[in-house]
């Protein structure tokens, strides 16, 4: 009988996710002027933190996978707030917080909250880009593309896809939540 490979701990999984998220932030920064790299990294960290905080709204997995997933996602969200990850980005994260881009439970369950935060992240990046000399500014709509890519990357890296998150938000709890298109 063959032995299964040892499972990595939630801590090791969280560290790998953090590394992957920071690599994704660097990747999304490559096509933008270098002066925008810290702003893009801050947006990536904040949006990935929000995605990781969806752990409370996912359908439970069989144990021990559920316990591991919850622990790993909690560690990811906490470590994205840590000084080692946010070093040098404090002013950007503070500016985002002042624009109300901070993690709350409504990110996971309220579609309008997600839209507002996405719009806020786009507006923040556009504001940062507008401070650059005219010849160095990225193309129009670059911030839309960057934020959409960051969210897709964070969800994929953390293991939460859009359909799954919407389904979970709708069916979690005792009662099915009625979608607006189903209301009569």
Quickly tell me which residue has 């709350």 as its tokens.
Answer: 104
Question: If the chain, 184 residues long, is cut into consecutive pieces of 10 residues, what is the mean pLDDT of each piece?
Answer: 67 89 88 91 87 67 78 87 92 85 53 77 93 90 90 77 53 52 55
Quickly tell me which residue has 């920071």 as its tokens.
Answer: 22
**Rounded percentage of the chain residues whose pLDDT exceeds 90:** 23
Please indicate, yes or no, if residue 168 is contained in any of the structural domains. yes
Tell me how far CA of residue 139 lies from CA of 96, 118, 143, 155, in angstroms. 22, 19, 9, 25
Number of domains forming the structure of the chain: 1
- At 58-87, the pLDDT tens digits run 666 677 877 888 888 888 888 988 999 999
Q: Which of 42, 41, 170, 60 is nearest to 108 (CA)?
A: 170
Write out the residue range of the structural domain in which residue 33 sits: 10-172
Please indicate, yes or no, if residue 98 is contained in any of the structural domains. yes
Q: What CA–CA distance (Å, rounded) separates 40 from 30?
A: 10
pLDDT of residue 4: 56
Q: Torsions phi, psi of 38, nearest 5? A: -60, -40
Please indicate, yes or no, if residue 100 is contained in any of the structural domains. yes
pLDDT of residue 107: 54
pLDDT of residue 92: 93
Return the structure tokens found at 147: 């934020």
Please indicate, yes or no, if residue 1 is contained in any of the structural domains. no
Q: What CA–CA distance (Å, rounded) separates 34 from 32?
A: 6
Please indicate, yes or no, if residue 76 is contained in any of the structural domains. yes
Please indicate, yes or no, if residue 4 is contained in any of the structural domains. no
Please indicate, yes or no, if residue 103 is contained in any of the structural domains. yes
Return the structure tokens found at 141: 């709509």
Please indicate, yes or no, if residue 50 is contained in any of the structural domains. yes
């Amino acid at each position: 009988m063959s032995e299964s490979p040892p499972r990595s701990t939630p801590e090791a999984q969280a560290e790998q996710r953090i590394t992957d998220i920071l690599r994704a932030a660097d990747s999304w920064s490559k096509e933008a002027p270098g002066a925008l790299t810290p702003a893009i990294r801050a947006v990536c960290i904040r949006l990935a933190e929000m995605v990781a905080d969806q752990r409370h709204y996912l359908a439970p997995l069989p144990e021990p996978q559920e316990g591991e997933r919850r622990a790993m996602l909690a560690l990811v969200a906490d470590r994205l707030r840590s000084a080692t990850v946010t070093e040098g980005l404090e002013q950007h994260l503070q500016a985002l917080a002042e624009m109300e881009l901070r993690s709350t439970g409504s990110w996971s369950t309220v579609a309008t909250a997600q839209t507002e935060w996405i719009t806020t992240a786009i507006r923040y990046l556009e504001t940062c880009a507008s401070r650059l000399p005219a010849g160095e500014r990225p193309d129009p709509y670059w911030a839309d593309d960057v934020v959409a890519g960051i969210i897709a990357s964070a969800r994929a890296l953390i293991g939460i896809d859009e359909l799954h998150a919407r389904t979970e938000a709708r069916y979690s709890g005792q009662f099915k939540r009625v979608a607006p298109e189903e209301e009569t």
